[in-house]
A = this chain, B = another copy of it.
Amino acid sequence: MTENLTKPDAAEDDFELANFLPFLLNQAAEESSLAFQNVYKNRYGMLRTEWRVLFHMGMYGQMTAKEIGQRAKMHKTKVSRAVQRLAERRFLIRTRDAQDRRVEHLDLTPAGEAAYRDLRSVARDYDVKLARHFTSGEVALLRAMLRQLAGIR
């Protein structure tokens, strides 16, 4: 009788966790966001949740907290707190909808717009810098694969 019906160990050992995609993705994400993080942190005292909200508003204009949550895949409590802090610091203003008084429309203030444009330009430069490691075809493929993995339609 064979004493081992499971896969042989040799087949198991060729898997290196150092190549595990969730691990690699995480390391790359953390490393690649460090330098940019320092900018919005030091220059505007923002947290990651806050710059994400700011960016979505800068890109898409007036939004509600719910819409931001859907687009950014952020939980509503995260959005709520980020909006609160951005409102306190006068980066955005909230106005109740007249028809449906549950919803709030959020708009960037001029200060918010300015911060958005500033950070957007930093982000653009930073992205170029990251992409410089690769050919443009490689980067395009990378983005497409990441979108697929992230479940972005």
A residues adjacent to B (C-beta < 8 A): 12, 15-33, 36, 52, 55-56, 58-59, 73, 117, 120-121, 123-124, 126-127, 130-131, 133-134, 138, 141-143, 145-152
Question: Which B residues touch A56, using CB under 8 A?
Answer: 17
Quick check: B152 and A18 within 8 Å, CB to CB? yes
Inter-chain pairs besides A15-B120, A26-B33, A28-B147, 15 sampled, C-beta below 8 Å? A15-B127, A17-B120, A18-B59, A19-B143, A21-B130, A22-B130, A23-B55, A24-B150, A25-B146, A27-B152, A31-B149, A31-B150, A32-B150, A130-B149, A138-B141
Q: Is the interface of A mostly helix, strand, loop or mixed?
A: helix
Question: Which B residues touch A16, using CB under 8 A?
Answer: 59
Question: Which B residues touch A22, using CB under 8 A?
Answer: 29, 32-33, 36, 123, 126-127, 130
Closest B residue by C-beta to A30: B73
The complex places the Cα of A30 from the Cα of B74 at a distance, in Å, of: 11
